[in-house]
A and B are shown apart, each in its own frame.
Chain A
Amino acid sequence: MKLESRIPSGPLAQKWDKCKIENKLVNPSNKRKYEVIVVGAGLAGASAAATLGQLGYRVKNFVYHDTPRRAHSIAAQGGINAAKNYQNDGDSVFRLFYDTIKGGDFRAREANVYRLAQVSANIIDQCVAQGVPFAREYGGLLDNRSFGGAQVSRTFYARGQTGQQLLLGAYSALCQQIAAGNVVSYTFSEMLDLVVVDGHAKGIIVRDLLTGKISRHNADAVILATGGYANVFYLSTNALNSNATAIWRAYKRGAGFANPCFTQIHPTCIPVSGDYQSKLTLMSESLRNDGRIWVPKKPGDKRSPESIPEEERDYYLERMYPSYGNLCPRDIASRAAKRVCDEGRGVGESGRGVYLDFSDAIKRLGVEKIRERYGNLFDIYHEITGENAYQTPMRIYPAVHYVMGGLWVDYHLMSNIPGLFVLGEANFSDHGANRLGASALMQGLADGYFVIPYTISHYLALQNPDKRPKVEHPAFQEAEENVRGIIKRLLSIKGKRTVASFHKELGHIMWEYCGMARSEAGLKKALQLIPKLRDEFWHNLLLPGGDSELNQSLERAGRVADFLELAELLCLDALERRESCGGHFREEYQYPDGEAKRDDENFSHVAVWEYQGPDKAPVRHTEPLVFEEVHPSTRSYK
């Protein structure tokens, strides 16, 4: 596998300019000859499809949703980072870059992250121009809030709905391009295979979810913006339909899968309440601006929070990390919560919870200010738990939220398969081993609005659209047969266990052995259990309904089949990465105080997995990480 990162030479601050200057362009009148497939319409997909449409390319956009406005980007609550320095508090492109590199525990590429920080300011300009109703100050200028892992206030927000508002902005731009005929929108359409012709990505195979019809679509380039795979854990904060199928099937066509074990556990979610639970709900990290996190000092203290006096409370983040306090990064806050619960000091019925207390903030700012800042989050909390967080502290616990791992891409966001570009959460590129809050929205829109338009032209300029492979090409035939084969096989099992029961069992294995803390013994155990479960899945799956109609069980079965394979790679990657960094915490590698122990000598690299065929062990390649500008240090938030 060839892993050429294509990072331009020269000083960090000039790399992106150099790349743009050196990239080949496509003449305006030639752009309409090129066809580009964009799969997904979250922030990355919708912004890419709209922007490429504006440029004049012919774009085909595929979503499995009923409309391109529902992708899981909508659920992001807290905000989007940008190095505008509107607060005059010392922010700069370099500081955003440095915070992101350090937040990712020095496991991301310098050049990619620097570019992300550079274009961050343009994103805010673009979104404001589109009419995104960001929060404002009384003078009419934009407001900011602070977020985890940063000592400046650089986060822009739209109440607790920033993701939804940014997505509506991208969706509205997409709507305009659809109306103009530059983008053709395919809804209820799930990509089930990637078509590779002579080593280049030239199309996809799609199932119409309403009719079951399988169709072939060709193009000069394929962009996957299909999100992350956190649902491999069954319970996560992701939407229920979020899945890995598009990137997994691309992996099986030869795309490298990078750092699959870099998964993020978000510290502030509503705790699990019962076995029936289908998903976990996030409470935005922005709450940590004003909420204080604590547990009782005494283990097993079952008194109500109000009756525990101040001196018997342990504000453990403020105690352990005095300079960042409640705003330390997500991985650190999550592990600290696990530690205090393991000590028997957790709260709530299950003992797996900590308090997030607003009483001090309410005293300081008044209820109205808190309502204005977080009203909808308090409402969500009330709807789910029936508790009023204005009066009693919220109970929170970490939950799987995001994946930093994904398909490997170079500086151009192209995978090792030429013509296959991967954007947003689906790629691995910018967050290293841990993502900072309010950076996912930034990356999705950076990729779609400001990176792909420049880099895709460099690829397309060397392609001849007149020689675009036709859908009659044998590679399309083979891919379609592959898809039909999988569906047929799933429907012919006729076993006794539902797909949900398999998914749930897989999730238990993953959370138990590959969750917040991982160990060699646990991972080896998981690597025994997963193939066994997968084998049972393929022999004992009960799948109602047929393939030529809307069949939600069939859709889910295909996705869970892929999760059952991806889970194994995730555990394997976690086993091979014999260090602790960011969201990947190996119990064997920690300092006496429980902090993660990174091993830069042996693991300062991206692990990239290459598929070798069914029942064959994948091969692990590495791309070394070169730090020219920053010196990887022990990450300290103390």
Chain B
Amino acid sequence: MKIKLKVWRQKNAESPGRFEIYDTPELNPNMSFLEMLDVVNEELALKGIEPIAFAHDCREGICGTCSCVINGKPHGPHRGVATCQTYMRSFKDGDLVLVEPFRARPFPVIKDLIVNRAAFDKIMQAGGYITARVGSAPEANNLPVPKENAELAMDAAQCIGCGACVAACKNASAMLFTAAKVSHLGYLPQGQPERYLRVKAMVEAMDAAGFGACTVTGSCEAVCPKNINLTFIARMNRDYALALLKGEPKKTSTVAA
């Protein structure tokens, strides 16, 4: 099979981008989408054209590095599957396939199909952790975790931080990502002491990074390669509301700094 690739080319963040159309060489339907790009890039290089820059690493759907929008859909046609695990058998011979970077203001384009997702790190740094100094942990089985909670935490923890949820959202909202992180820790007993501080700090960091608001269209859940559930957003909203009601923690010293 062969396809026509209509692909976004952009030299860097400052330059304007444009679409280019390339005919692929003969492809094997069992190739992954990224292996197809490898093959196209080999041809481009031999023709003296700079290869298409695209983000990738593990190529087994777990590192969250790959990030294309394929035919208008982040991570391509299949539900619950990342770009790297999308195979050419999902396309037909002669198809015109549109490939773009994730488009969201907090994810500036670096080059071609690569965007910068450092904004996610900022959200995590604001509170996406349980304070647990190495050396101070109690014996692991001292704290039983109901299986149901452990499973729900794991459902949320599966997020691979790819950013497809943001790319799919018309508001470029990062609610699904943030909610997954908040819920992962919030379902566990270990996560309770910092639960409300965490949700408040992470939501504020999310807003500060320029992500939009959630209008519950559910497009994020539809493109998530790990099928993270939209209900985590409801859970985060509830925690956030409670955090606001609880107010700021009291200052321990009244002397002005």
Contact = CB atoms under 8 A, between A and B. Distances in A.
A130 B137 CA distance: 9
A187 B118 contact: yes
Contacts of B150: 133-136, 140
A75 B63 contact: yes
Interface stretch (A165-173, A251-259, A565-573, A616-624): A165-173
B111 interface: yes
A626 interface: no
Interface stretch (A28-36, A508-516, A542-550): A542-550
B208 interface: no
A122 interface: yes
Contact of B31 (A70, A165, A171, A276): A276
Given A124-B140, A158-B154, A278-B35, A210 B110 contact: yes
Given A141-B144, A276-B39, A129 B137 contact: yes
A75 B60 contact: yes
A39 B34 CA distance: 28
Contacts of B64: 69-70
A277 B129 CA distance: 38
Contact of A129 (B35, B130, B160): B130
Interface in A59-102: 65-70, 72, 74-75, 84, 86
B206 interface: no
Interface string B138-157: 11110111110010011001
A230 to B, nearest CB: 13
Interface stretch (B43-51, B216-224, B247-255): B43-51
B184 interface: yes
A74 B118 contact: no
A159 interface: yes
A157 to B, nearest CB: 11
A133 B131 CA distance: 16
Interface stretch (A301-309, A379-387, A522-530): A379-387
A140 B144 contact: yes
A126 B137 contact: yes
Interface in A257-299: 273-274, 276-279, 281-282
Given A276-B31, A545-B50, A140 B137 contact: no
Interface in A392-437: none
Interface in A450-497: 450, 453, 496
Given A138-B147, A549-B12, A161 B62 contact: yes
A106 B121 CA distance: 43
Interface residues of B, number: 76
A179 B138 contact: no
B160 A66 contact: no
A130 B129 contact: yes
B59 A240 contact: yes
Contact of B28 (A47, A127, A274, A549): A274
A274 B32 contact: no
Contacts of A138: 147
Interface SS of B by simple majority: loop
A304 to B, nearest CB: 19
Interface string A42-60: 0000010011001000000
A553 B51 contact: yes
B178 interface: no
Contacts of B6: none
A615 interface: no
B124 A175 contact: yes
B126 interface: yes
Given A136-B145, A140-B146, A164-B160, A65 B57 contact: yes
B147 A70 contact: no
A248 interface: no
B84 to A, nearest CB: 9
Contact of B125 (A179, A542, A544): A179
A137 interface: yes
Contacts of B55: 66
Contacts of B146: 136, 140
Interface string A170-202: 011101101100000101000000000000000
Contacts of B57: 65, 70, 72, 239-241
B141 A133 contact: no
Contacts of B61: 380, 383
A70 B120 CA distance: 13
A165 B34 CA distance: 25
Nearest to A372: B151
A546 B188 CA distance: 49
Contacts of A126: 132, 134, 137
A122 B135 CA distance: 8
Contacts of B160: 74, 164
Contacts of B30: 273-274, 386
B138 A131 contact: no
Contacts of B32: 278
A139 interface: yes
A142 interface: yes
With a 10 A CB-CB cut-off, give which of A185, A210, A278 has the most chain B CB atoms. A278
Nearest to B133: A54
Contacts of B42: 498, 500-501
Nearest to A379: B80
Given A125-B137, A129-B137, A172 B85 contact: no
24 contacts: A66-B118, A69-B121, A69-B124, A75-B60, A128-B140, A129-B140, A130-B132, A131-B188, A134-B150, A136-B150, A140-B146, A141-B141, A171-B124, A172-B130, A176-B129, A179-B126, A276-B39, A383-B61, A383-B85, A544-B45, A544-B48, A544-B51, A550-B110, A552-B51
Given A68-B121, A133-B153, A133-B154, 19 more contacts: A69-B161, A70-B58, A72-B57, A84-B140, A125-B137, A127-B140, A128-B143, A130-B190, A135-B150, A136-B145, A139-B144, A140-B145, A175-B128, A176-B129, A239-B57, A241-B57, A383-B61, A500-B38, A544-B49
Interface of A: 47, 50-51, 54, 65-70, 72, 74-75, 84, 86, 122, 124-131, 133-142, 158-159, 161, 164-165, 168, 171-173, 175-176, 178-179, 185, 187, 210, 239-241, 273-274, 276-279, 281-282, 379-380, 383-384, 386, 449-450, 453, 496, 498, 500-501, 542, 544-545, 549-550, 552-553
Smallest CB-CB A-B distances: 10 pairs:
A140-B144, A129-B137, A172-B129, A129-B132, A125-B137, A133-B154, A179-B125, A128-B140, A133-B153, A239-B57
